[in-house]
Amino acid sequence: MDNRIILILIVAIALLSGCKQQQPDNGRLQIVTTTGMIEDAVKNIVGDKADVEALMGPGVDPHLYKATQGDLQKLTGSNIIFYNGLHLEGKMGEILEKLGHQKPVLAVSAHIDPSKLRKVPEFNNNYDPHIWFDVALWSEAVKEISRFMQSYDTVNTLFYAQNEIRYQLKLDSLHTFVTHKIKEIPKSQRVLITAHDAFGYFGDAYNIEVKGLQGISTISEYGLRDVSNLVDFIINNQIKSVFVETSVSSKAINAVVEGCQQRGYNIAIGGNLYSDAMGAKGSPEGTYEGMVRANVNTIVSALK
């Protein structure tokens, strides 16, 4: 047989078996999440009792993300959907609301005490959705996932509860790690400058000043005045480094670096931070814990 025909056949078979796998008949719950951080939290609770998949992979910006045709199939075929809420998934609200009439569609932020949330006037007076940056706040999202799973799948209530206890202990020590590590930066250098305002909870929880060029959502644009204000601030405070975010274009931060250079001040790019998406699957940064540790290590080594 002609080599090309064999190749076409192999591809066709792979595609067909791929389609079959999309709806596995293994009797396990099918859970779909929006972000990778939520996927990781759900996996820590459900263990091997469910298949969990995130729609948004590494480097994907949730503020701008629109569901693809493939996503719609996954969402429709799932039993449960977890999303962040607080308008993080700015372009998926309508789809999630529609699906909510057919199956459980849960915002992991839904039961967090509003007094613990940051209200942001520039974000239409909504709350800041980046709750995963304060590990203690993220623990509450994990609690919400566990609470739902315990009541939804009562055969495994105890299993989910035990997993939650184990994972919450890990999160507690992660919170302690971040708290101590940030203190290694001299107080005058404790300023975190990124492209968009993702790190507000991080700043509040771990005592570091936070500045972003764009607002809470990457939908908002920044202007020349924002760049020049930030350049003034950097020079006046002799800040050593600014940071790029893996899910946001580096254009904004490059504009700040260039602005500093034009004024004769050399500012370094301190590294890449995982702001709204985790790292590659299978790498340490591909888990929530690894993402937080990597961010903190990058921030501390660039600023201290």
Q: What residue ranges in 215-254 does DSSP mark as E strands?
A: 241-245
Residue 260, SS3 per DSSP? helix
Give the number of other Cβ atoms within 10 Å of residue 152's Cβ. Answer: 15
CA 109 distance to own-chain centroid: 13
Judged by CB under 5 A, the stretch of 40-48, 171-179, 198-206, 261-269 that binds Zn ion is: 198-206
Q: Of 29, 48, 41, 53, which is closest to residue 143 (Cα–Cα)?
A: 41
Task: Report, in Å, the least distance between residue 128 CB and Zn ion.
Answer: 9
- At its nearest, how many Å lie between Zn ion and the CB of residue 276? 4
Kindly calculate the radius of gyration of the chain based on its CA atoms and give it in whole angstroms: 21
Task: Please identify, using beta-carbon distances, which residue of 51 and 204 lies nearer to Zn ion.
Answer: 204
3-state secondary structure of 212: strand
In the list 178, 198, 252, 273, the residue contacting Zn ion (rule: CB under 5 A) is 198
Site for Zn ion in 101-120 (CB under 5 A): none
CB of 202 to Zn ion, least distance (A): 12
Smaller CB separation from Zn ion, 50 or 213 = 213
The reply to whether 89 sits near Zn ion by the rule CB under 5 A is no
* Shorter beta-carbon distance to Zn ion: residue 56 or 300: 56
User: Helix or strand or coil: residue 106?
Assistant: strand
31 vs 213, beta carbon nearer Zn ion: 213
Q: Could you give the angle at which helices 288-303 and 157-182 cross, rounded to 10 degrees?
A: 0
d(CA 303, CA 12): 52
Segment lying near Zn ion (by CB under 5 A), choices 21-29, 156-164, 193-201, 234-242: 193-201
Q: Give the amino acid at 89.
A: E
Q: Which stretch, 110-118, 192-200, 203-211, 278-286, contacts Zn ion (CB under 5 A)?
A: 192-200
Contact positions with Zn ion (CB under 5 A) in 268-287: 276
Q: Is the dihedral of CA 214, 216, 219, 220 positive or negative?
A: negative
Binding segment (CB under 5 A) for Zn ion, from list 6-14, 166-174, 194-202, 264-272: 194-202
Residues that bind Zn ion (CB under 5 A): 198, 276
